[in-house]
Amino acid sequence: MLTDEERDEIIKEIAGHPTKRAACVPVLKLVQRRRGWVSDEIRDIAPLLEMTPEELDGVATFFSHIYTSPPGKHIISICDSISCWVTGYDAIRSHLLERLGIRPGETTRDGQFTLLPVACLGVCDEAPAMMIDDTLYTRLSPEKIDEALKKYE
């Protein structure tokens, strides 16, 4: 259930867009900033945007950085663009899955990491790449991954 303050912020955000539906992603991000993720609130938000809960859930689940369940303390975004694929994505992905004990989209049991594949991190000349929170790691190898993860454990 939305608080009155959240509802007021959402209405203000909607007013800054040409249509109510056009505000759906900024509104989802607004709620996520306050709560950490967006879940049952979708039922309360959808009518404000003149959308069904199913339509809004479709938007929320389409975007990898809108969380519909509690994310880990640290978000690992692994690039799965063509540049990363041809420079060792399979080995990097396999190492991360084994090291973390999760599959893409999942969170480690201890709540420390959530692993999300992303379409591109924009560093094709330094592939393969991943980000942990806002820190970019490039030219990855299993050793570089282990070194990076140690900083967050």
Say whether the peptide bond before residue 128 is cis (omega within 30 degrees of 0).
yes
* Residue 69, in any domain of the structure: no
Going by pLDDT thresholds of 50, 70 and 90, the confidence category of residue 9 is very high
Q: Does 129 lie in the same domain as 81?
A: yes
* Residue 68, in any domain of the structure: no
Residue 93 tokens read as: 């992905």
- For residues 91-105, average pLDDT: 94
CATH code at 30? 1.10.10.1590
The pTM score is 0.77
What tens digit of pLDDT does each residue of 43-86 get?
A: 999 999 999 999 999 999 888 789 888 899 999 999 999 999 99
CATH code at 91? 3.40.30.10
**Cα–Cα distance for residue pair 125/90, rounded to 1 Å:** 18
Task: Give the burial class of 145: count Cβ atoms within 10 A of its Cβ; 0-12 exposed, 13-18 middle, 19 or more buried.
Answer: buried
